[in-house]
Structure 1
Amino acid sequence: MSEMMNKDTQGPSKEPNEVEIFVSKSLRFGVLLSGAVILIGLVLFLSSGEGGYPGDSYPTRLRDIFAGAFDMKPFGIILAGLVLLICTPIMRVGISALVFLKEKDWLYVGISAVVFIILVSGFFFGK
């Protein structure tokens, strides 16, 4: 009898809905993908002994990073993995904004959209 009362007083069980599971899987996939890309770059760096760029230089612009990654330059691949890792939580905020839009929760759509715009603009225009 006391077990039944404990179950009733605990409140409703909160099971994750489909959206939360999708967001969780998206974040996990982003982290695993970026980790794999970084690992590939690290293995190439350790096997070749060089970063693929002359001297102590490395790419700093997104275009140069991805061009170096496509050219199989170890530093370019490692930096591309780091860019993917940075983009993972930004993607989560964008997905949240779309979920709130679907639910017609306009306050949170606005908040998520503003945060998303700030993150993306900081990513592209930050120094």
Structure 2
Amino acid sequence: MPEKNSPSLTEENKEVELVIGKILRVGVIVAAAVIIFGLILNFATGTTGYPAGVHPHRIMSILRGTVQLRPYAVLMTGIFLLILTPVLRVVVSIYAFIKEHDTLYAVITTVVLFILGAAMIIGYFH
């Protein structure tokens, strides 16, 4: 087992930090692009793509609306992607802590992931 300050571990830490940074950048850029596309669709069509007062709330109906290029659904997909970006960062952090043999932080980060998941599930069903 390499020591915490060994050169190979330091290099791995730098690589993991670069990957995490790239994930966050790409996630935000993709989410912003989807949201901007949804706004353009909304302004171009002058409608949300749904009758007044009707909007999808379930993931599958939002994805179906996105495939059909309904502006509201496209916007919601972009927001969903934006929300998932930091969650993906937590997943990568768990991997990094396990690779560093840092059990305490791996457990803490896993608990954070479960809390995020529980909050999403509770929000989905309410």
TM-score (normalised: structure 1): 0.84
What's the C-alpha RMSD, in Å, of the aligned pairs? 1.7
1:35 matched to 2:35? The reply is: no
**1:23-56 deviation per Cα after TM superposition (whole angstroms, max 9, x unaligned):** 0010000000000000111101100001111112
Partners of 2:84 and 2:121 lie apart in 1 by: 11
- Partner of residue 46, structure 2: 49
**1:51-71 deviation per Cα after TM superposition (whole angstroms, max 9, x unaligned):** 111112211111111111111
Gaps of 5+ in 1: 1-14
Counterpart amino acid of residue 57 in structure 2 = T
Aligned residues: 114
- Partner of residue 59, structure 1: 56
- Partner of residue 11, structure 1: none
**Larger-gyration structure (1/2):** 1
- Partner of residue 76, structure 1: 73
Partners of 2:121 and 2:82 lie apart in 1 by: 15
Larger RCO, structure (CA 8 Å, separation 6 or more): 2
Partners of 1:46 and 1:84 lie apart in 2 by: 21
Counterpart amino acid of residue 57 in structure 1 = V
Gaps of 5+ in 2: 1-10
